[in-house]
């Protein structure tokens, strides 16, 4: 009997001191990115990308390193640059297809520009360049566009 009374007392004490949680709200703070890039930013990013393509075409590693972000300099080797160079035709003229923001896996948005070859009306081959806000190149992804 004493054991049952002790058990009921413990249960009653827990219920008496239990706290009721009300109004829990989870807020996810996310930096809002503007819908479009400004003309100045587009000009800066485009100039840097065209310099990158020229340096890639000439195999000028120091010039390429100046245009790359500090975050990717360590992982970009000569083999990676060779694969990027093979991924699209550096001899053809590029023109801007669209601009905007590229969402990363961590939820952040970075400016990006999609390029197509000049005179190519089908725009099946698209090259996407992702930039940091200061204009340094984070990534270049040549890809076939599916329609």
Q: How many residues does the chain have?
A: 147
Q: Give pLDDT, residue 147.
A: 45
- CATH code of residue 114: 3.10.450
124 assigned to some structural domain: yes
Q: Where are the beta strands (DSSP E) in the chain?
A: 94-103, 109-117, 125-131, 137-144
53 assigned to some structural domain: yes
Residue 12: count of CB within 10 angstroms of its CB: 10
Helices marked H in the chain: 2-17, 39-57, 61-67, 70-73, 78-87
Averaged confidence pLDDT in the chain: 82
pLDDT band at 16 (very low <50, low <70, confident <90, very high): confident
Q: Give pLDDT, residue 109.
A: 87
Question: What is the reported pTM?
Answer: 0.70
Q: Give pLDDT, residue 47.
A: 92
What angle (nearest 5°) sits at the alpha carbon of residue 110, between those of residues 107 and 113? Answer: 135
Residues 121-129: what's their mean pLDDT? 79
Convert the pLDDT of each residue in 61-113 to its tens digit.
888 888 898 888 888 888 888 888 888 887 888 888 888 888 888 878 889 99
Q: Give pLDDT, residue 31.
A: 59
Number of structural domains the chain divides into: 1
121 assigned to some structural domain: yes
62 assigned to some structural domain: yes
93: closest CA among 119, 112, 111, 114? 119
136 assigned to some structural domain: yes
pLDDT of 146 > 60? The answer is: no
5 assigned to some structural domain: no
Residues of the chain with pLDDT > 70, as a percent, come to 86
- Among 12-26, 52-66, 77-91, 118-132, top mean pLDDT goes to 52-66
Query: What residues make up the domain containing 99?
Result: 39-142
pLDDT of 140 > 50? The answer is: yes
Q: Where are the beta strands (DSSP E) in 5-135?
A: 94-103, 109-117, 125-131
26 assigned to some structural domain: no
Q: Give pLDDT, residue 94.
A: 87
Residue 115, CA atoms < 13 Å, CB-side half-sphere: 23
27 assigned to some structural domain: no
């Amino acid at each position: 009997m004493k054991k049952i009374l002790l058990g009921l007392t413990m249960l009653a004490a827990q219920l008496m001191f239990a706290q009721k949680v009300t109004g829990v709200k989870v807020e996810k703070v996310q930096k809002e990115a503007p819908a479009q890039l400004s003309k100045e930013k587009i000009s800066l990013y485009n100039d840097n990308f065209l310099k990158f393509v020229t340096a890639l075409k000439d195999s000028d590693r120091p010039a390429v390193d100046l245009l790359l972000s500090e975050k990717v300099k360590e992982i970009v080797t000569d083999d990676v640059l060779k694969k990027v160079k093979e991924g699209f035709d550096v001899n053809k003229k590029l023109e801007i297809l669209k601009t905007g923001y590229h969402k990363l896996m961590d939820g952040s948005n970075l400016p990006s520009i999609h390029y197509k070859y000049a005179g190519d009306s089908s725009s099946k081959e698209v090259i996407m360049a992702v930039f940091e806000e200061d204009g340094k190149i984070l990534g270049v992804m040549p890809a076939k566009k599916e329609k």
